[in-house]
Amino acid sequence: MTRQKRSRHRLKRTVAPYLYLSPSLVIIGLLMLLPMVAVISYSFQNSAVLRRDPSFAGLKHYQAIFADPVFWASLWHTLYFTCMSVIFHMTIGMIFALMLNSDRINPTLRNILRVLYILPWLFTAVIIAVIWRLLLEPNGVVNSILMQLGIIGSKIEWFSSPETALHAVTFANIWAGYPLFMVSLLAGLQGIPKDFYEAADIDGAKAYQKLIFITIPQLMPIIISISLLDFIWTMQVFPLIWITTGGGPIYSTEVLSTYTYKLAFSSYNLSQASASAVVILLISLGLTLFYIRYQKAR
């Protein structure tokens, strides 16, 4: 083989993988990178999108949103909503997964429970929002039951009262999201070798000790991975909050997604909305990098 042929062959070998990847790279570039770059550039422009000749604004829009107390309230509500959702998704998911994995429950009942527990996952965010609006409205089923049981003395406006609204939307989101954990943890539980538990039985370990020293450590990679993904997804929840409360009453359920939406489509301030979207992007990016590093470390 001549030197020329060899170098051509080497070039082919180097280029070939990129050629195979190119369709995906083009799609990712067009559908993900391009919009992202556009939004970032809008955040540095005055009257972005609305004018054909927008001027450079520097960090003006970032300063404006950081000076807005509603932005900080939204950030706090987002963190509360997300943290509580992830914690309860994990706890409920774990309890239900353990229940479905237990031999002590009758197999028929287990199959019925498996279908029932996964139901919330089958509904779209809009349906979930409508269901909970109906259940939690002042004349709804929840108030009626609580009043009959004597737990509350008068009707509570769950979504309409600033004191309860954030807890109510968080509750609805917890209900909607635990099946992801349940299914993932159930798969993990079924993958734990039985020998571990048999050895623990021989050593006289109690149920809670087996849970703490065998089950949870074995499930830890799944728990961390799903928690991180859930954190990223929950942070971006929009339809559930928008349909149930619209970010109100007052600003009590305003989260970063509704705050950004209002800036864009109510105030038509697409530059500030882009700045707010970039803040969400940076938070999500930080979490994603953390997730990738964790996956690599494994």
Q: Tell me: does residue 20 bind another protein (CB under 8 A).
A: no
Q: Considering only the stretches 22-30, 100-108, 137-145, 226-234, report the one whose residues sit in contact with another protein under the rule CB under 8 A.
A: 137-145
Q: How far apart are CA 246 and CA 241, in angstroms?
A: 6
> Please, which residue, 137 or 218, has the CB nearer to another protein?
137
Question: How many residues lie near another protein (CB under 8 A)?
Answer: 30
Q: Tell me: does residue 245 bind another protein (CB under 8 A).
A: yes
Among all chains, which residue has been given the structure tokens 């939690």? 136
Q: Considering only the stretches 56-64, 84-92, 226-234, 260-268, report the one whose residues sit in contact with another protein under the rule CB under 8 A.
A: 260-268
Judged by phi (left if over 0) then psi (alpha if -120 to 50, else beta), residue 48 lies in: beta
Q: How far apart are CA 153 and CA 29, in angstroms?
A: 58
Is 45 strand, coil or helix? strand
Q: Considering only the stretches 16-24, 37-45, 131-139, 201-209, report the one whose residues sit in contact with another protein under the rule CB under 8 A.
A: 131-139
Q: Considering only the stretches 38-46, 57-65, 93-101, 242-250, report the one whose residues sit in contact with another protein under the rule CB under 8 A.
A: 242-250
Q: Tell me: does residue 12 bind another protein (CB under 8 A).
A: no
Who contacts 42 (Cβ-Cβ below 8 Å, separation ≥6)?
Answer: 48, 49, 270, 271, 274
Q: Tell me: does residue 170 bind another protein (CB under 8 A).
A: no
Q: How far apart are CA 214 and CA 238, in angstroms?
A: 38
Of residues 268 through 297, those in contact with another protein by CB under 8 A are 268
Of residues 200 through 229, those in contact with another protein by CB under 8 A are none
Q: Tell me: does residue 246 bind another protein (CB under 8 A).
A: yes
By the 8 A CB rule, do 181 and 90 touch?
Answer: yes
Q: How far apart are CA 108 and CA 102, in angstroms?
A: 13
By the 8 A CB rule, do 147 and 155 touch?
Answer: yes
Of 271, 274, 270, 235, the closest CA to residue 255 belongs to 235
Q: Tell me: does residue 265 bind another protein (CB under 8 A).
A: yes
Q: How many CB atoms lie within 10 A of CB 160?
A: 16
> Please, which residue, 212 or 250, has the CB nearer to another protein?
250
Q: Tell me: does residue 247 bind another protein (CB under 8 A).
A: yes
Instruction: Please select the residue that binds another protein; options are 26, 152, 250, 289, rule is CB under 8 A.
Output: 250
Q: How many CB atoms lie within 10 A of CB 81?
A: 24
25-54 mask for another protein (x: CB under 8 A)?
A: ------------------------xxxx--
Residues in contact with another protein by CB under 8 A are 49-52, 133, 137-139, 155, 157, 159-162, 165, 242-251, 262, 265-268
